[in-house]
Structure formats: C-alpha cells, structure tokens
Amino acid sequence: MTARNTDGRSAPADPMIIELEGILESLGARMAELVELAGSRLDAIRAAAPAELAQTIGRENAVVQDIAEIEKRRVRVVGELARRYGSKAGVNTTFTWFADRIGGSSGERLRRLARGLRERMEMLTQLNDTAALATNALISHMQGLMSQVGARLSHARTYARTGAVPPGPAILSSVDVTS
C-alpha cells in the first residue's frame, strides 16, 4: 500500500495506518468466529445438549481472550493516531473518524472494515438476544417439569419445594420386653 506525495511520487504508507487496518481485519475475523459460535451455542441450547454447549462456550472464551489481546493493540494504535490527528476522544476515537481524516484508498479500506465489524457485532447481538430468550424458555420449561414432578411425589412425602423433604420431629417409642 502506498500513498502519493504532493509531487505525484509514491510514498510509503503509514505503518500505524497499516497496523490499524490489520487490527480491524483481526477484530472482524474474530467477530465472525463469535457469530458462528453463537449460532452453535443456540443450536446446543435448542437441543438441550449440555456437553455441546460447554464445548462451544469454551471455544467462545478462547476467541474472547484473543479479542482482549487485539483490543490492547487497538488502544495503543488508536491512542497514538488520535494524538497525531488531534482527536479529543483519544483511545475512543472511531475507525470512521480516522477514515475521514486519512482519505484515499486507506480511508476507504478502514471504512469498509469498520462497516463489516459493525455488521458482525450487530449479528452477534441478535444471536445472543435469541439465545437469552431460548435459555429463559428452557428454564421455564424445566421449572414446569419440576413442579409437575413435585406435585406427583409430594403425596408420598418424598419431594418438597426445596428438593428434599426435611426430617420430621423425632419420635420416641419403646417396647416393654420384660413381661
């Protein structure tokens, strides 16, 4: 990637801008993984498959850890570029703000990458909202089943609301065996 000098000659691209593009690409790729995993998590919830759910959540945690590492790089790069370009927002400066200041093909790449990241984040939010609804529905279903089980077994005093029947009062009795 090269930019043009004022005299028309090619000038090397700014390494910080190149790194910012790489950060956006990495975040976009990781977010795409989270979208895919959120779909798998939703499938596991719908199928009531706890082993599959645990495996998916483990993979999600690994991706989130990767994102945390990328975020450290983003803070460093965005902080430096914000100082350079005069952004008062500092490390919270948006990618599109930089794209507007940088312009040209680099600005367009940043804008395109930021748009893709935003779209993936919105998809992830929708999937997570759906998973929350599915989880609540499953919890309600299970609570209903437990209520039915409790109602059926309570007549035998083998089940109580707490999951176990508390012991009753001690009964003292004796038998006279001397006569």
Distances (CA, A) of 31 to 94, 115, 120: 17, 12, 6
* Burial (Cβ within 10 Å: 0-12, 13-18, ≥19) of residue 33: middle
pLDDT in tens, 52-76: 999 999 999 999 999 999 999 999 9
Distance CA 84, CA 76 (A): 12
Residue 14: partners with Cβ closer than 8 Å, 6 or more residues away? 3, 106
pLDDT in tens, 11-46: 457 899 999 999 999 999 999 999 999 999 999 988
Distance CA 137, CA 12 (A): 56
- All structural domains of the chain with their residue ranges: 11-121
> What single letter denotes the amino acid at residue 86?
G
Helices (H), 4-103: 15-46, 50-85, 95-102
pLDDT in tens, 121-172: 999 999 999 988 888 887 888 788 777 776 666 655 555 556 565 555 655 5
